[in-house]
């Protein structure tokens, strides 16, 4: 597993942990203020309780994807996109005359006894990290792909788990543990068929005798039928 992919994996876990904390905080805040009348959101004009519930649910779903998903590029993209939406929303608040974000996060600061200004700074730091981390890793992964292609890196598919492996031509024939499932494999040139997953559009390699079999995609885990490439 290359260094960019390892870093993206670590980032996905950290983003999942932060998003889990955000989701839990919003749900607890909503539950703690269930008997209070909260204001409407000044931009979307929807009840604040509804908005926080939707944001908390979205953060929880994204956290699960970051913690248990397999496609690190899509994880970084999803995290960066969520952070972009946060900053766009915040800029519109600022433009509308609301300089502080904490006034529209329900009762989170009061429930957790956090000074409103500190809550505002914490939100900025978290979403700044998610935006910069996700965006920079997407660029790094793209540059890494370009460098590997330029250097003539070889690719193969693990016969045990189906995970993709890249290696330099000089390592051809070496025996290594698969970086995905840890089973011992020999590095060789790929003599497998290739197809694109209908759901996630990632490439899948498989032996010719497996045509027609139904398997979970090694990237998105959706069930697909192996077909002969067109």
Task: Tell me the longest C-alpha to C-alpha distance in the chain.
Answer: 68
Domain boundaries, the chain: 3-149, 154-225
User: If you search the block for the tokens 């011992």, which residue do you land on?
Assistant: 184
Cβ atoms of residues 127 and 91 within 8 Å? no
At residue 107, the pLDDT reads 63
61/158 Cα distance (integer angstroms): 30
Residue 43 makes CB contacts below 8 A (sequence gap 6+) with 89, 92, 93, 96
At residue 103, the pLDDT reads 46
192/190 Cα distance (integer angstroms): 5
Cβ atoms of residues 70 and 164 within 8 Å? no
* pLDDT averages per 10-residue partition of the chain, 230 residues: 81 94 85 65 73 87 91 90 89 72 57 75 89 93 75 72 74 82 79 80 76 84 80
Say whether pTM exceeds 0.75.
Answer: no
Buried b (16+ CB within 10 A) or exposed e, 183-206: eebebeeeeebebebeebebebbb
């Amino acid at each position: 597993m290359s260094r960019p992919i390892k870093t993206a994996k670590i980032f996905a876990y950290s983003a999942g942990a932060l998003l889990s904390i955000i989701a839990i905080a919003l749900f607890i805040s909503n539950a703690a203020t269930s008997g209070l009348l909260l204001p409407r959101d000044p931009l979307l004009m929807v009840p604040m309780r509804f908005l926080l519930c939707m944001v908390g649910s979205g953060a929880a779903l994204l956290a699960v994807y970051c913690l248990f998903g397999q496609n690190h590029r899509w994880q970084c993209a999803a995290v960066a996109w969520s952070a972009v939406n946060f900053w766009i929303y915040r800029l519109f608040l600022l433009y509308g005359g609301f300089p502080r974000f904490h006034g529209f996060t329900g009762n989170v600061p009061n429930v957790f006894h956090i000074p409103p200004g500190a809550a505002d700074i914490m939100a900025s730091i978290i979403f700044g990290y998610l935006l910069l981390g996700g965006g920079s890793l997407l660029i790094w992964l793209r540059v890494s792909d370009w460098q590997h292609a330029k250097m003539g890196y070889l690719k193969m598919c693990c016969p045990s788990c189906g995970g993709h492996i890249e290696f330099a031509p000089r390592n051809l024939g070496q025996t290594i543990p698969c970086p995905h499932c840890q089973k011992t494999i020999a590095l060789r040139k790929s003599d497998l068929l290739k197809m694109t997953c209908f759901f996630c559009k990632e490439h899948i390699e498989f032996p010719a005798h497996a045509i027609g079999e139904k398997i979970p995609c090694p990237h998105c885990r959706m069930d697909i039928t192996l077909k002969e490439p067109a």
